[in-house]
Amino acid sequence: MSSIRTPSGPTPGAGSGAGAAHSPDTPAEPPGRVARRILRATDRATLATLSCDDGGWPYPSLVLVALDHDATPLLLLSTLALHTANIAADGRVGLLFDATAGLARPLAGGRVSVLGRAERSDEPRHRARFRARHPGAAFTMEFADFAIYRVAVERAHFVAGFGRVHRIDAADLLLDRVPPALAAAEGELLIRLNETGVADAAGYPRGEGWTLTGIDPEGADLRRDGAVARWDFDGRAEDAEGAEAAIADLVRRTRREGAGTPPSHGRRPDDAGGP
């Protein structure tokens, strides 16, 4: 039986979200859900650590990011890197996820600062999700000095635009759990769907050569070379059958609304209510 679970309150829309128009008749989404959608649509972030050998000065660096099914950030770090040495001394970190690329007024766009503690993870699912999200890192991951780190989120700071600032607790930023059925089936499901060419068949994003790299309860990640895209489900998928049904529905609506156009849902990723 299909397991598409619709969250309470306004649901996030399908498609990338980045190009959708705002509908004034649609109630604002909870800030935590909108912030989570920005995290899911981003494959890199600025990592801030505290320097362990330089008086504790903040040390920013660029890192690749994947997410667990519940949206917990996952990083691939080398023990030879300064930021990893900093984490070994003090696990407190910050991650800046930026959704302002391409905007004429970047400060009017959304960005999320996530605060938490980074800790090494030997969970096979975390390694598999990172490898799928960043296939170019597969070779690097085989080196002994590289490992996956998960960021145990404590809170987040979401700026949705001018004067729209939200402090978000971890419970509101992350999903309450990782659905075991979907997590267990994700690898085989990705192989099967990519064999069908569903990413190109949808017509969004434009062009050929897109592949699905991840399927979580709220949507699917896509990649073509250095470009990434996101399909957001209307509801929440709890297992492979539910995810396939959500993707099939998304593809039908994308074709109906025109190639190159994300299924309309009347909402941008920075569209959250607030002051």
Question: In this structure, is residue 116 part of a structural domain?
Answer: yes
pLDDT of residue 96: 98
Distance in angstroms (rounded) separating the CA atoms of residues 258 and 268: 19
C-alpha torsion angle, residues 64, 16, 202, 212 (rounded to 10): 20
pLDDT of residue 4: 35
Candidates 213, 211, 168, 167; CA nearest to 187 is 213
CA 66 distance to own-chain centroid: 7
Domain CATH for 42: 2.30.110.10
Distance in angstroms (rounded) separating the CA atoms of residues 65 and 82: 18
What string of pLDDT tens digits covers the 275 residues of the chain?
333 333 333 323 333 333 333 333 445 889 999 999 999 999 999 999 999 988 899 999 999 999 999 999 999 999 999 999 999 999 999 999 999 999 999 999 999 999 999 999 999 999 999 999 999 999 999 999 999 999 999 999 999 988 899 999 999 999 999 999 999 999 999 999 999 999 988 888 888 899 999 999 999 999 999 999 999 999 999 999 999 999 999 998 888 876 555 554 434 444 454 43
Q: Are 270 and 211 in contact (CB under 8 A)?
A: no
Q: What's the length of the chain?
A: 275
Question: In this structure, is residue 29 part of a structural domain?
Answer: yes
**E-assigned strands of 162-265?**
164-169, 211-216, 219-224, 227-232, 236-237
- The contacts of residue 90 (CB under 8 Å, 6+ apart) are 49, 50, 52
Question: In this structure, is residue 271 part of a structural domain?
Answer: no
Question: In this structure, is residue 50 part of a structural domain?
Answer: yes
- The contacts of residue 63 (CB under 8 Å, 6+ apart) are 44, 45, 46, 47, 75, 76, 77, 83, 95
Q: Is there a cis peptide before residue 73, judged by omega within 30 degrees of 0?
A: no
Q: Which two tokens stand for residue 71?
A: 């949206």
Strand partners, 76: 148
Distance in angstroms (rounded) separating the CA atoms of residues 3 and 233: 12
Question: In this structure, is residue 151 part of a structural domain?
Answer: yes
Domains held by the chain: number: 1
CA 87 distance to own-chain centroid: 23
**E-assigned strands of the chain?**
4-5, 44-50, 58-67, 73-78, 92-98, 111-121, 146-161, 164-169, 211-216, 219-224, 227-232, 236-237
As a whole number of Å, the CA-based R_g of the chain is 18
Distance in angstroms (rounded) separating the CA atoms of residues 75 and 119: 10
Range of the domain at 197: 12-257
pLDDT of residue 184: 97
Question: In this structure, is residue 135 part of a structural domain?
Answer: yes
The structure's pTM equals 0.85
With the C-alpha atoms ordered 158, 162, 164, 166, is the resulting torsion angle positive or negative?
Answer: positive
Question: In this structure, is residue 213 part of a structural domain?
Answer: yes
Question: In this structure, is residue 273 part of a structural domain?
Answer: no
